[in-house]
Amino acid sequence: MDSSIPGESPAARPANPLLRVMDAVDRAILRGWRVFKSLKFGIFLLVLIGAVSVWGTMGYASNASLGDNQIPMARRLVFQTWWFASLLATFAIQLTVSTWHVTVMSVTIWWRREFRRFAAWYAAGGTTPRAVLSVPAERTDDVAALLRRRFTTLQRDDDALFAQRGLLSRLGPTIVHAGMLMVLGSGMARFLLHSQGEVMAEGRFIVAENEASNLIYEPIDEAQAIGGRNVTAREIPEKLYIRVLDFDEIQHPNIGSPAYFSSLVEIVDPLSGQVTVRQLDMNHSMSLHGYQFHQAGYEAVEDETPQRWNFDVRVQSTGERVAVTDAGANTPVRIGDTDYHMIVAAGAPGAPFEIFHRDNPQRILARGTVGGSTGAREFTFEVVQFFPNFQIDPVERKPINAGNEPLNPALQVVTYLDGETSTVEWLFADRELAAIARPQDPVYQLKLADIRVPADAAEVDFQKPGEVKFVLDVVRRSTGASLGQVPLFLDERSRPFAYDLPEIMPQTTGNPATGEDFAVINLGPAQRYLTVLSVVREPTTMFVNLGIGVILIGALMTFLSRYEALHGWHDRASGRFHLTLTPRWGYASEASAAALGALVAEARAKLGVDGELLPYTVRKARKEATESEKSIADPQAITST
C-alpha cells in the first residue's frame, strides 16, 4: 500500500534520521487530518455508533431475565462505558476536523481568486444552468453592474466575474456542526465530571406536606444500575432547607388518575432569614445552587389525626367561589390559580386566617376567622391545677399559688375534643380577670361558675382530688348564652359533653372595595401527601443549551437563505459572455434555471444584447464532474455547446 501523500515524491524525504522522524510525524498528522476530515470516516463512525446503539437496546432488551432492569443495565454496560464515550469522542474529533475543513472552504470561497478554473469546472460538468450573452469584452463593466444589483459580493479578474449571494446559507451547516460539537463536548465533559462525583442523576427529595428537610437521597452507584434501594444522602448546599407548604393534585373526573399535580415549596435560608416560595409541577422545575428539582411523584400519608383541611375560599360580598384549597396549620398555601396565598392558624372553624399577595407576604390584605360547620362534637374537661390565691411571679413571670386562702381562685382547665387535647386555659373567679382572659376556643367560652367545698369540712384541702367540686359554665361566644354547666373535681375528667354547635359564619376584615373581601369556610379534613421531587445536578446543562441554540441558529441560516454563485467569463473565440449559476450543493434546480433566465431577460432589456439559456444536464454525479474538471486544461478553450 502506498503511504505517500499524493503530489509528493518519496525521494524528497530528508536524509537526517531526526528530520526523517519529524517528517514521518508530520506525514502521520497530515494523514490523520485527511482521514478525520473525510466524510466517509464520519459516516463509518456514525454507522458504528448506530450499530452499537441497536445492540445496546435490543441486546439487553431481549434478555427477559433482566426484567425491568434492562434499560439501567444497557446504560451501565453499553451507553455509559469508557469505550462508548471514546467512540463518541472520536466522532467529536471527526466532526471538529471536518467542520474546520468545511468552514475554511466556505470562508475562502468568498475570496476565491481561481474562479476561472471553477467556472470551467461547472461549465464542463454541465450540471448547472448556463447562458450566453452577446456582449463584447469591453462591456464587462456593464455585466458587472447588472450582477451587483442581484448578488451580495462580486469579484472581477479581467473579463471574468464571480458573484455570490445567500452567504449565510453557506455558513449555516458549519454553525449546525459547531452546535453539535458543543452538545457532544458537553456530553464528554459530563462523562468525566460523573466519574468525579460532580453529577447527580437520580437524586430524590421526599418530604410530606407541612414538613421540611435539607437532605437529598441518591442511590449508590451500583445499586442505581439495577434500580436498587441502597441510598446515600447529601445536604442541600448553603444550609438551605425546603418546606413543602402544599401539594396539589387534580384528578380526571370519576377515574381517579392524576391530571395534574404540583408542590408549593418554600426555600428557607436560615443564615439570612430569606424565604422564597416556588411552585413546581411536572413541567416546571426549580434550580437551587446547581441542583435542579423536578416534580416526580407523590404518595398519600396515613395520619392518625388530621393535619390538613380543605378550605372553601369565596368572595364574601358576592359568595362567588375563588377556589377550594387544602392547608395545614400555619403553612401558607396558594389559593387556586390566583396570586393570593392564605395562612390559617388551625383547621377548626373560628381559627384565624390571613391572606396576602404572593409578591408581598408582609402586607396582609385580609384577615378573619374561618367559618364552617362544627357539627355535634364531644367535649370533656379536666381541672389539672387549682390555685386558691393565683398570682404571677414577677421574676419568673409564671403563675404561682401564693397561699391556701381562696383570695384569688383560679383553675387551669384542659379541654378534650373527641378525646384529643384541644385547649388549655386558666379560669378565674375574679370577674375582671375573667373578662380580660382570652378564650381559647373560637366557638365557646368556659367560665368558672362555682367552687363548692364540703359543708362539714373544718379545713379544706384544695389540692386533694375529690375534695372540692368546680362548676364550669359553657357559654356560646357569639351570643353569650349558656350551653350548660359541667361539674367536676380536681384531676378528674368531666362526663362527655356534646354540643350541637351550628355553622359558624366566617368573619373577615378585608377590603371589599379592592376585591379583597375573602370568606374562608372549613370543609373538613384533607388528605396529606408526601411529595417526591427528583433532583439532578448537571453542570454541563448550560453548554448543552448553548449548543442547541447554536444548532437552531445554524438551521435557520441554512434553510431561510439560499446560496447561489454565478461564474461569468468572456469567451474570446466566440466573442460571447458565458454565465453559469451554481446552487448550494452544486446541483441544478428548476429554481436556479429560472433565476438565470430572469438575469438573461434583464440583460436583454437593460444592456440591449442578445442572450439565451443553454441546455444542461439536470442531474449528474459530482464524481463525473470532477473527472471532467481534470480533462480541461485551459478554460479559455471552452466554447458554447
Partner 1 sequence: MKLTQLLSWLLAAILLAAPSAAQTLSDDDSSRFSTIPHSAEMERAIVSSPAERLVVMTDGIRETLLTASRIRLDELTGRTEIRGQDPEYTFLSMVYEPERWWDAAILPLEHPRVAEILGADGKWVSAHFVAANPSLARLEGSAAEAAKHKADFDAMTRRLNAAEQVLRLRDRELALSSLATEELPREAILELVEDPAKRRESLRERASLADKVAEEKAFLEATQRLFHRVSMVGGMRDHLVLVPNREDIRGDWFRPGEGTPGRGDEAVFEAAKRLDAALASAFRQAEPSDVPRAVAAFLDVAEDHPSYPPLERRAVKNAYKEMNPFRSAAGLFMASAVGFGFFFFFGRSPLRWIGTGLFGLAFIAQTFGVGTRLYISGHMPVSNMYESITFTCWVAMLLAGGIELRRRDGVAGIGAAILGFLMLAGASSMPLHDTRFHPLRAVLNSYWLNIHVTAMLISYAAFALAAVFAAAYLLKSATGREALFGGRPIMTLDQTEQFTYRLVQVGWPILTLGITLGAVWADVAWGRYWGWDPKETWAFITWIVYTVYLHSRMVMGWRGRLSAAACVLGFVCVVITWLGVSYHPWFSGGLHSYASPT
Tell me which residues in 77-106 interact with partner 1 (CB under 8 A): 77, 79-80
Q: By C-beta, is 77 or 168 nearer to partner 1?
A: 77
Interaction residues for partner 1, span 136-195 (CB under 8 A): 187
Q: What is the DSSP letter of 137?
A: G
Task: Give whole-number Cα distances, 176 to 265, 499, 585, in Å.
Answer: 40, 76, 16
By CB under 8 A, name the one of 105, 259, 400, 424 that touches partner 1. Answer: 259
Q: Does 68 bind partner 1 (CB under 8 A)?
A: yes
Q: What is the DSSP letter of 615?
A: P
Cα separation, 325 vs 260, in Å, equals 15
Q: Could you tell me which stretch among 35-43, 136-144, 367-375, 500-508 binds partner 1 (CB under 8 A)?
A: 35-43
Q: Please report where in the chains the cell 364550669 appears, as a residue.
A: 472
Interaction residues for partner 1, span 364-423 (CB under 8 A): none
Q: By C-beta, is 125 or 332 nearer to partner 1?
A: 125
Q: Could you tell me which stretch among 256-264, 349-357, 376-384, 574-582 binds partner 1 (CB under 8 A)?
A: 256-264
By CB under 8 A, name the one of 23, 57, 100, 188 that touches partner 1. Answer: 57
Q: By C-beta, is 118 or 569 nearer to partner 1?
A: 118
Q: Please report where in the chains the cell 373544718 appears, as a residue.
A: 458
Closest approach of partner 1 to the CB of residue 43, in Å: 5
Q: By C-beta, is 282 or 457 nearer to partner 1?
A: 282
Closest approach of partner 1 to the CB of residue 595, in Å: 18
The residues, ordered by sequence, that sit 6+ positions from 88 with a Cβ below 8 Å of its Cβ are 49, 184, 187, 188
Cα separation, 77 vs 632, in Å, equals 56
Closest approach of partner 1 to the CB of residue 329, in Å: 19
Q: By C-beta, is 493 or 622 nearer to partner 1?
A: 622
Closest approach of partner 1 to the CB of residue 212, in Å: 22
The residues, ordered by sequence, that sit 6+ positions from 350 with a Cβ below 8 Å of its Cβ are 369, 370, 441, 442, 443, 504
Helix (H) or strand (E) segment spanning residue 625: helix 622-631
Q: By C-beta, is 97 or 600 nearer to partner 1?
A: 97
Closest approach of partner 1 to the CB of residue 333, in Å: 14
* Per-residue interface string for the shown chain with partner 1, residues 511-550, x marking contact by CB under 8 A: -----------------------xxx-x--x--xx--x--
Closest approach of partner 1 to the CB of residue 303, in Å: 17
Task: Give whole-number Cα distances, 138 to 103, 202, 385, 575, 640, in Å.
Answer: 37, 75, 121, 11, 20
Closest approach of partner 1 to the CB of residue 321, in Å: 7
Interaction residues for partner 1, span 579-618 (CB under 8 A): 585, 618
Residue type, 197: G
Q: By C-beta, is 397 or 623 nearer to partner 1?
A: 623
Closest approach of partner 1 to the CB of residue 102, in Å: 9
* Per-residue interface string for the shown chain with partner 1, residues 487-516, x marking contact by CB under 8 A: ------------------------------
Cα separation, 293 vs 213, in Å, equals 14
Q: Could you tell me which stretch among 53-61, 361-369, 373-381, 415-423 binds partner 1 (CB under 8 A)?
A: 53-61
Do 140 and 161 contact (CB within 8 A), yes or no?
A: yes
Do 614 and 628 contact (CB within 8 A), yes or no?
A: no
Interaction residues for partner 1, span 308-347 (CB under 8 A): 310, 319, 321, 324, 326
Q: Could you tell me which stretch among 62-70, 267-275, 382-390, 591-599 binds partner 1 (CB under 8 A)?
A: 62-70
Cα separation, 383 vs 385, in Å, equals 6
Residue 111 φ/ψ, nearest 5 degrees: -110, 25
| Burial group, residue 630, by CB count within 10 angstroms (0-12, 13-18, 19+) | exposed
Q: Please report where in the chains the cell 422564597 appears, as a residue.
A: 276
Closest approach of partner 1 to the CB of residue 567, in Å: 20
Long-range contacts of 87-91 (CB under 8 A, 24+ apart): 87/45, 87/48, 87/49, 87/52, 88/49, 88/184, 88/187, 88/188, 89/188, 90/45, 91/42, 91/45, 91/46, 91/49, 91/184
By CB under 8 A, name the one of 149, 289, 431, 623 that touches partner 1. Answer: 623
Interaction residues for partner 1, span 275-314 (CB under 8 A): 282-285, 292, 294, 310
* Per-residue interface string for the shown chain with partner 1, residues 214-253, x marking contact by CB under 8 A: ------x-xx-xx-xxx-------------------xxxx
Residue 602 φ/ψ, nearest 5 degrees: -65, -40
